[in-house]
Structure 1
Amino acid sequence: MSLFSSDEELPVLTPEAERKEAFDLAGYVQRVKGGPCFVCAILAGAPGYDFEQIVFEDEHHIAFLDRYPTMPGKVLVAPKAHVEHVVRDLDEEAYSRLMRTVRRIALAVEAVVASERTYLLSLGSQQGNTHLHWHIAPLPPGTPYAKQQYHVLMTENGVIPWSAQQAFALAERLRAVVAEVAGGG
């Protein structure tokens, strides 16, 4: 069963659908620890980031699709400046501005992708993915409780198989809705 509707090219997820493919955790760790900062690479227009389709960008922030989504519509939001600590590297105004942007993008995600709840969290560490970023992760309706929360977020439990074309179509829909969402960035 496909996760994407051939008519809309948007994620469709049901609890009974076989939705995940194995994730190469060792390759991922090697990429994050040995490669460039992925947010800075996307901002620089580096090649090889076709899945990280940008859905929003302003003077201070960027929002883009997660390269390794564990659920349909997963988006990352980051400040453009390479900061690493969610609390101590941002002054109050920068933090508030970032959180307003996270909310704006989350509202757009909820308008495009069905969700029972939207998870918002900041991950990363000094060992890898150091650039501060927030995950916006819409929990698909009907996901069994035992497979919610951290379980659904962990790439170790599999990622959604999708194509760059599907990422582009989803990003296009999200960009249109983000432009309509009140509250600015």
Structure 2
Amino acid sequence: MDEGTCVFCAIVRGQETASIVYEDETVVAFLDRYPVTRGHLLVVPRAHVVGLEDIDADAGARVWEVGRMLARALRRSGVPCEGVNLLLCDGEAAYQTVFHFHLHVIPRTAGDGWTELRHRAPERERELLEADAEVIRNALSSDRS
């Protein structure tokens, strides 16, 4: 998907209808057309970037700051909101369906029916956790050089 066929780029350009709640020079935030709960928002950078590896640090920080600001606003609005999920799906295996970086800001209430985040896994052994930590630390080191 490129900028020409990206629905989020069309929203940013004003060529596609959206219920925009916030915008600035870096991001646009609007209500999700297919909400998990009432008030489900998406925060997207104006620039077309696909995932975490593509977004620059300043734009990424702005997306998260606006997400935090919107979570606060949801708690103070008339939208039912006892909690908030901030959700980022990065890649098809992580359930990303629109390949333009976006942060979901999802207001939650007890019993709202969304239970997809529940995951019960066995505890991982400490030595396996340490081995995983080591390979990730090594990857971080190689990114810095």
Q: Return the TM-score normalized by structure 2.
A: 0.66
1:129 aligns with 2:98: yes
Asked if 2 retains the 8 angstrom alpha-carbon contact of 1:120 and 1:136, the reply is yes
Give the superposition deviation at 1:100. 0.8
- 1:95 aligns to what? 60
Q: In the TM superposition, what whole-angstrom CA distance separates every residue of 1:110-131 from its partner, at most 9, and x where no partner exists?
A: 2112222201111264684100
- Structure 2 distance, partners of 1:124, 1:94, is 16
- Flag structure 1 segments of 5+ consecutive residues without an equivalent: 1-31, 152-185
Q: CA RMSD in A?
A: 2.6
Moved segments of 4+, more than 4 Å: none
Give the superposition deviation at 1:39. 0.7
- 1:155 aligns to what? none
Q: Matched residue of 2:44: which SS?
A: strand
**Aligned residue runs from structure 1 range 145-184, under 5 A:** 147-150=113-116
- 1:8 aligns to what? none
- 1:110 aligns to what? 75
Q: In the TM superposition, what whole-angstrom CA distance separates every residue of 1:79-132 from its partner, at most 9, and x where no partner exists?
A: 10001112x223333322221111111111221122222011112646841000
- Structure 1 distance, partners of 2:90, 2:58, is 22
- Structure 2 distance, partners of 1:65, 1:117, is 17
| Structure (1 or 2) with the larger CA radius of gyration | 2
Q: In the TM superposition, what whole-angstrom CA distance separates every residue of 1:18-53 from its partner, at most 9, and x where no partner exists?
A: xxxxxxxxxxxxxx9xx9311101112224x2xx20
**Aligned residue runs from structure 1 range 39-58, under 5 A:** 39-47=8-16, 49=17, 52-58=18-24
Asked if 2 retains the 8 angstrom alpha-carbon contact of 1:74 and 1:138, the reply is yes
Q: 1:143 aligns with which of 108, 111, 116?
A: 111
Asked if 2 retains the 8 angstrom alpha-carbon contact of 1:124 and 1:131, the reply is no
Asked if 1 retains the 8 angstrom alpha-carbon contact of 2:84 and 2:108, the reply is yes
Q: Matched residue of 1:95: which SS?
A: helix
Give the superposition deviation at 1:139. 1.0
- Flag structure 2 segments of 5+ consecutive residues without an equivalent: 118-145
- 2:141 aligns to what? none
Q: Matched residue of 1:129: which SS?
A: coil
1:75 aligns with 2:55: no
Asked if 1 retains the 8 angstrom alpha-carbon contact of 2:30 and 2:43, the reply is yes
- Structure 1 distance, partners of 2:91, 2:60, is 18
- 1:19 aligns to what? none
Give the superposition deviation at 1:134. 0.5
